[in-house]
Amino acid sequence: MNVCLAPLPIVFDLDGTLIDSAPDIHACVNTVLGHHDTLPLTLDQVRSFIGGGVEVLWQKIIAARDLPDDKIPDYISAFMLCYQDATQMTRLFPGVAEALNLLADRGYPLGICTNKPHAVTCGILDHFGIANLFGSVIGGDSVQERKPHPAPLRAALLGLGADPLNPKALYVGDSEFDAACAAAVPVPFLIYSQGYRHTPLADLPHLASFDDFAALPGLIDMQPAD
């Protein structure tokens, strides 16, 4: 690491990157579907619908189950009631807490940019005891637009003191939404290969990929500082 220069701000995606939230989301989706006498979805189906935020999740569910789309607001309210504090089956991916603490100790300003609603995001960060590591947390309802639009990532970068229009920073994520958002800002993108992506890695623009959080601090240290 170049110790003479300011460490780069690092912004992280949440679902599929820091946390495996699919089992809790899956359970709440099926609770809501059950209340509407609709067949449950598999964990793989629900996992493949995560990443665009709660509205996109439910658009994909109603398409998969041929449900009336004028009921989306009702489905979303019922889902949020179930999901607002559902952390029982959610896990940090292996090595996440260690990597984040190491990066924070090395002085990297850390942020979150997720399409998950802000309050739920903060609850999850608190639950895992990592909320204090992040200087900026942008959720799917923090600004008007959602990823892949660049606005939420720019807001997260601004919160870390970076120039949102010409940022020297990194975005770490797992999905098509994250890759497109990073390219739109633009900011170099590091992709976690064990997340919820369905596109081959080679087809997503990225600076580097990693499959183990133990490798992330070294990968970040290799990037030129600001």
Ligand X SMILES: O=C(O)COP(=O)(O)O
Active site residues: 13
**Residue 114 vs 223, nearer CB to ligand X:** 114
Residue 115 within binding range of ligand X, rule CB under 6 A:
yes
Work out whether strand 91-92 and strand 19-20 pair parallel, antiparallel, or are unpaired: antiparallel
Min dist. Cβ of residue 200 to ligand X (A): 18
Q: Assess whether the previous peptide bond of 109 is cis (omega < 30° from 0).
A: no
Q: Burial-class residue 122 by CB neighbours within 10 Å (0-12, 13-18, 19+).
A: middle
Among 9, 51, 111, 217, indicate the residue that binds ligand X (CB under 6 A): 51
- 177: closest CA among 49, 72, 76? 49
Secondary structure (3-state) at 136 = strand
Tokens of 59: 């658009």
Task: Identify whether the C-beta of residue 108 lies closer than 8 Å to the C-beta of residue 9.
Answer: yes
Q: Assess whether the previous peptide bond of 148 is cis (omega < 30° from 0).
A: yes
Residue 13 within binding range of ligand X, rule CB under 6 A:
yes
Residue 53 within binding range of ligand X, rule CB under 6 A:
yes
Residue 15 within binding range of ligand X, rule CB under 6 A:
yes
User: Which span (48-56, 74-82, 197-205, 213-221) binds ligand X, by CB under 6 A?
Assistant: 48-56
**Residue 7 vs 11, nearer CB to ligand X:** 11
Residue 150 within binding range of ligand X, rule CB under 6 A:
no
Min dist. Cβ of residue 107 to ligand X (A): 25
Q: Which residues of the chain form contacts with ligand X (CB under 6 A)?
A: 13-16, 50-54, 57, 114-116, 147, 175
